[in-house]
Amino acid sequence: MPQFVLIAAAVATFGPTRGAAYSWVGTMVSALIGFGLGRAWGARLLKRLSGETVTRILDTIARNGFIASLAIRLAPFAPFVVVNMAAGVSAVRVADFTAGTAIGILPKILLTAFAGSSIVAALGGRGLIPILLLVVAAAIWIGSGFLAGRWLKR
């Protein structure tokens, strides 16, 4: 199930604030489980099957653990579970992965959680300020995702 759908379901069920909080906790638990599975079982298999390119990528992730974890969340290019397991396979420190993920998942969760309420507020006659704030937040997220994507490609 796409992460966006799960976040939206939590928001619809619990409201924007609690739904966002529950989504963040659930996303973190899921990320750490995937990381742990990758760390426990994936490293030997990947080392046996991979070539020099994969080894270089894993080394880069390990050296830049926090930034790599943050950037990959802002500019997602692979399924969430795959990213988590790949990070576990690399030598990235758990603390770096956790911190980068914790911060990197916030924009998507917050935008999803508060997008609906902003639109409802604007349509309910509370002016365009909620929509403008949503547009600014989305622009910041897209811009940071673009910069993160450039860093990852480099």
- Residue 70 near residue 100 (C-beta atoms within 8 A): yes
Residue 6: pLDDT above 80?
yes
Domain limits for position 135: 3-153
Which range, 13-17, 22-26, 45-49, has the best average confidence (pLDDT)? 22-26
d(CA 140, CA 21): 21
* Crossing angle for the helix pair 80-89 and 52-63, to the nearest 10 degrees: 90
Nearest to 46 by CA among 89, 81, 83: 89
Q: Which pLDDT value is given to residue 2?
A: 78
Quickly state the pLDDT bin for 153 (edges 50, 70, 90): low
Q: What's the number of domains the chain is made of? A: 1
23-49: average pLDDT: 85
Quickly state the pLDDT bin for 27 (edges 50, 70, 90): very high
93-105: average pLDDT: 92
Percent residues over pLDDT 70 in the chain: 74
Residue 97: pLDDT above 90?
yes
pTM, entire model = 0.73
